[in-house]
Structure 1
Amino acid sequence: MKMPTLFVPHGGGPCFFMDPDGGPPDPMWRPMQDYLAGLIASLAERPRAILLISGHWEENLVTVHTGNGQPLLYDYYGFPEHTYRLRWDAPGAPDVALRAKSLVEAAGFAVGQESERGWDHGVFVPMKVAVPDADIPLAQMSLRKDLDPADHIAIGRALAPLRDEGVLIVGSGMSFHNLRARGPQVTAIADEWDRALTDAVTDPDPARRADRVTAWDMLPHAHFSHPREEHLLPLMIALGAGGDSPAAVDYRGEVLGWIVSGYRFG
């Protein structure tokens, strides 16, 4: 069974785990949490492993992580003390990481490798919701620091064979990510951006779709929605790995006044 590829919103910091007693999150975050909680059940087949690309890891070269991600990297600030003791103890997937490295190198890209970095919150926060038993092995791959959209789409294309090998490719970011712009005054702007992005991502023509998403910064309110585009680039890899299939909108909701979408390819 060929796996789809996903671009999912990973929330804000440890937003789903703010209650020290394990209670539900702020109601604002609950629809996103429910979406993430249903991801694995929504697949036709349970993946044997996950390859995740997070908006919180950049290197000069695309880099694969061959370790198990422990201890976690709590790369958020100013949250309650208990959120720095969260656990997500899934095994690593070094075989998937090395297979991804080989595929991307075969496409002409230099690829780094490391095993010491912990999984950042773009990994463990959404995955703790999606895979609460931590029983699916996971490998992480970095973005490249230049954030070149066309190259990241090409890197995604190179990874596509993993979909036939039981690997779920997940881009973890946010479709809108302007931390200084919050509240209802932002919603109309975020909505216009989101509709334009969704129209580009769901374009039925594969070449035109890639061109339109590569030129994301020409869409309305692009640089307002992403003053820096690291949280959008995981979408490029998911799109590339999705092949000829246009995206379906998997999630659309509002948090912090932002309209936020998640997409599924294939």
Structure 2
Amino acid sequence: MIIGSGFSYHDTQGMRSGAGAETSATFDRWLNDTLVGSPPDERRQRLMNWSAAPAARAAHPREDHLIPLMVAVGAAGNDIGTRVYHQSDFMGKITVSSYRFGAPVVQRAE
């Protein structure tokens, strides 16, 4: 198991001021389209050019909090991406999401 701990939005000044509402939502939409809606080859290409994504540098002035995602996607290979968490009001107005790769988790009846 590889856990890529990071954050889909990391402009701490925007978090505190609430100014990051639109940029976090814009980048989160692109990230979801990339991780869930794109075939693996396109997903890799889009992530290689992530800084050209809408609101990318506003959401991530530095890429340090995206690097764990890149490692997880690389390890995922051709596995499908699934959004497992989404919140549009983190700290009041920030949009954030979490993803997993691989076969869907099956809940076992007890």
TM range (shorter): 0.7 to 0.9
2:49, 2:80 → 1: CA distance?
A: 17
| TM-score, length basis structure 2 | 0.82
Instruction: Name 2:98's counterpart in structure 1.
Output: 262
Instruction: Name 2:82's counterpart in structure 1.
Output: 248
Instruction: Select the residue among 61, 64, 86 that pairs with 1:230.
Output: 64
**Which residue type is aligned with residue 210 of structure 1?**
R
Give the drift of 1:245.
Answer: 1.7
Instruction: Name 2:26's counterpart in structure 1.
Output: 192
Instruction: Name 1:48's counterpart in structure 2.
Output: none
| TM-score, length basis structure 1 | 0.36
Question: What is the 5 A alignment of 1:4-23?
Answer: none
2:21, 2:67 → 1: CA distance?
A: 22
Question: What is the 5 A alignment of 1:37-186?
Answer: 168-182=1-15, 183-186=17-20
**Which residue type is aligned with residue 99 of structure 2?**
Y
Structure with more of its chain in helix, by fraction: 2
1:177, 1:184 → 2: CA distance?
A: 12
Q: Which protein shows a greater Rg? A: 1
Extract unaligned runs of 5+ from structure 1: 1-167
1:231, 1:218 → 2: CA distance?
A: 16
% identical aligned pairs: 36
1:239, 1:187 → 2: CA distance?
A: 26
Structure with more of its chain in strand, by fraction: 1
User: What CA RMSD, in Å, does the superposition of the two structures yield over aligned residues?
Assistant: 1.3
Q: CA-to-partner distance for each residue in 1:98-140, whole Å, 9 max, x for gaps?
A: xxxxxxxxxxxxxxxxxxxxxxxxxxxxxxxxxxxxxxxxxxx
For these two proteins, the number of residue pairs brought into alignment is: 99
Instruction: Name 1:68's counterpart in structure 2.
Output: none
